[in-house]
A = this chain, B = another copy of it.
Amino acid sequence: MKKLINNPEEVVSEMLEGFVLAHPKQVKLVPNTSVIVRADSPIQGKVGLVSGGGSGHEPSHGGFVGTGMLDGAVAGEVFTSPTPDQVYEAIKAVDGGKGVLLIIKNYTGDVLNFEMAAELAEADGIKVAKVVVNDDVAVENSTYTTGRRGIAGTVFVHKIAGALAETGASLEEVEAVANKVIQNVRSMGMALTPCTIPAAGKPGFSIGDNEMEIGMGIHGEPGIERGEIKTADEVTSVLLKKVLDDLQPTQDEKVAVMINGLGATPLMELYILNKKVSDLLKERNIDVYETFVGEYMTSLEMAGCSITLLKLDNHLTELLDAKANTVAFKR
């Protein structure tokens, strides 16, 4: 196993320590937890936003904690849902009296554990709302999921709900805009190589030297087609077609685009994909408002990508544009 680690059992705790040591002005660790919160948490009079999930998807989710995005991020073990008590700690740590929104990616373990945490917090008198992100159009139902999986589109939920929360909006308003993003965001991914969970010590699956898998999930869940490696243009066409078929943007509607790398794919390749994305959207008269290219929701050192489209109206555009200052997303 070729990894720069110490003890495979300690990768999450060491990562979290290294993270807060790197960015002490922006984030802090809630003592004796795996919860990262804004350095100025809790913020009185602001809805608190909490997300999280298994580790191994960095910069998700701790990298998006900061002004204009998340208040807290809960880190589970690698590719493992955080436990309810950890999520509960996050809710308590960010509650500023105006309630807390949980942004959950649609994996059965995450949904259950975040819901149990919400119940614990509500018993303490904290108002909690939940949204579940299910942007991955590759498959209905999957290894760890009933319904569609949540992947990189989640970052747009963090950004836009976070921007509205920053204006002092109510929990109901922030929940509503998060659901509006979820209704308007679709993604699909593919992988060229597997990745290795440190504690497992070997790749979670195998994939032939000349093979790729279209629609693979961010934990290596099965996709829809395994076959010979296609060109960047062919891959882009397949992913984008499925996203567009589901999202159905009308001509002259505008979208935000995210070309997300899964960990080992060079930026060079992501930009080559973007050239084709841009061409294909232009052919359909779909206006690209802004494009994000980089690593937002990774799968350790997996090679591969996902493509996300978010349909934007004026309100969502304004919130997308709003100031954000987190470790991994600034504007």
Contacts of A16 in B (CB 8 A): 271
Q: Does A50 have its Cβ within 8 Å of any Cβ on chain B?
A: no
Contacts A263-B264, A266-B263; A272 near B232 (Cβ below 8 A): no
- Contact between chains at A278 and B18 (CB < 8 Å): yes
Contacts of A264 in B (CB 8 A): 263-264, 301, 303
Complex Cα distance A229/B63, Å? 28
Copies in the complex: 2
Contacts of A4 in B (CB 8 A): 192, 232, 235, 265, 269-270, 272-273, 305
- For the residues of A in contact with B, the DSSP-based class is mixed
- Contact between chains at A303 and B301 (CB < 8 Å): yes
Q: Does A199 have its Cβ within 8 Å of any Cβ on chain B?
A: no
Residues from 249 to 289 in A contacting B, C-beta threshold 8 Å: 257, 259, 263-275, 278
Closest B residue to A78 by beta carbon equals: B268
Contact of A58 among B18, B56, B231, B266 (CB under 8 A): B266
Chain A interface size, under 10 / 10 to 19 / 20 to 34 / 35 or more? 35 or more
Closest B residue to A195 by beta carbon equals: B266
Complex Cα distance A131/B238, Å? 46
Which one, A19-27, A96-104, A171-179, A310-318, is touching chain B? A19-27
Beyond known contacts A4-B235, A55-B268, A264-B301: 4 more, CB 8 A cutoff: A4-B265, A6-B231, A6-B232, A266-B298
